Amino acid sequence: MNRGHQWLVRSLAICAAVLPQLAYAGTGAWPQIDVSIAVSVTPSAFQPGDRGTVTLTLHNAGPTAAGVAQPGPFGDQFANYVIGPGFRLPTTWDWGPFDILWSTVSGCVATYDVIGPGPPPDFFFALVFQFYFEVIPPGESRVCTFDIQFLQEPFETFETRWSYTISAAQEDTNPANNEVFYTIVAGEPYVPPEPVPSLSRWTLMGLAIGLSVLAFAHRRRCGMWGASHR
């Protein structure tokens, strides 16, 4: 993810976090939460065309429930969300190194947005994934899993950034654990073993005959040499 792309994704996260809070300005102290995010991807390395599973975990250390102060885009029960890795869209409008298999999403609601244009001089567009979670009571976690399908084209190891965004007028007391970086590892390309050259039946017969002739000639020379030294 290049610098311009990171700027675009961070700007989206900041806007999503600040706007609800502005709406609650002047209403008093906001409820405090401490939501952390964890990401795991299996298997640990991928080849083009492989399929893997992503697990997103949000934990709320409290002291109040996360995501209840203001309704989210899918109602009160989906008031927390994660911005997933964004991909810069080339002129072919590809998804990026992998695509999400939407039918496998469990534990959250997944959407995506095409945002842009980015800052000059490129003015690029980007694809950003979003994952909406239910309200998280203090001391509890919410887990979302889904499968990803890698494209057939070769790719290099790349870093992804996942960030939790407060979509309600609440204060996260530890924003340092609101994002996590995960490196998608490109596995070593499979190199098929070189085939062992095989000999045809006629070649083997020729070699056998040739060896027989050499053996006969060797014995004959040895016999003639012995006779001459008697």
pLDDT at position 191, please? 53
Per-residue pLDDT of 147-196, as tens digits, reads 999 988 888 898 899 999 887 788 999 999 999 999 999 887 655 556 65
Terminal alpha carbon distance of the chain: 90
DSSP 8-state code for residue 120 = T
Q: Which residue has the higher pLDDT, 124 or 72?
A: 124
Per-residue pLDDT of 26-50, as tens digits, reads 445 788 999 999 999 999 899 999 9
Measured CA angle at 126 (ends 75, 181), to 5 deg: 75
Q: What percent of the chain has pLDDT over 70?
A: 63
State the chain's mean pLDDT as an integer: 77
pLDDT at position 27, please? 44
Q: Which residue has the higher pLDDT, 79 or 67?
A: 67
Examine the pLDDT at 201 and tell me if it is beyond 90. no
Examine the pLDDT at 13 and tell me if it is beyond 50. no
Q: How far apart are the C-alpha atoms of 133 and 34, rounded to whole Å? A: 15
pLDDT at position 85, please? 87
Examine the pLDDT at 3 and tell me if it is beyond 50. no
- Residues 68-71: contacts with CB within 8 Å, 24+ apart? 68/31, 68/135, 68/168, 69/24, 69/30, 69/31, 69/168, 69/169, 69/170, 70/20, 70/23, 70/24, 70/167, 70/168, 70/169
Confidence of residue 19 (pLDDT cuts 50, 70, 90): very low
Examine the pLDDT at 205 and tell me if it is beyond 90. no
Confidence of residue 223 (pLDDT cuts 50, 70, 90): low
pLDDT at position 136, please? 93
Burial class of residue 194, CB neighbours in 10 A (0-12, 13-18, 19+): exposed
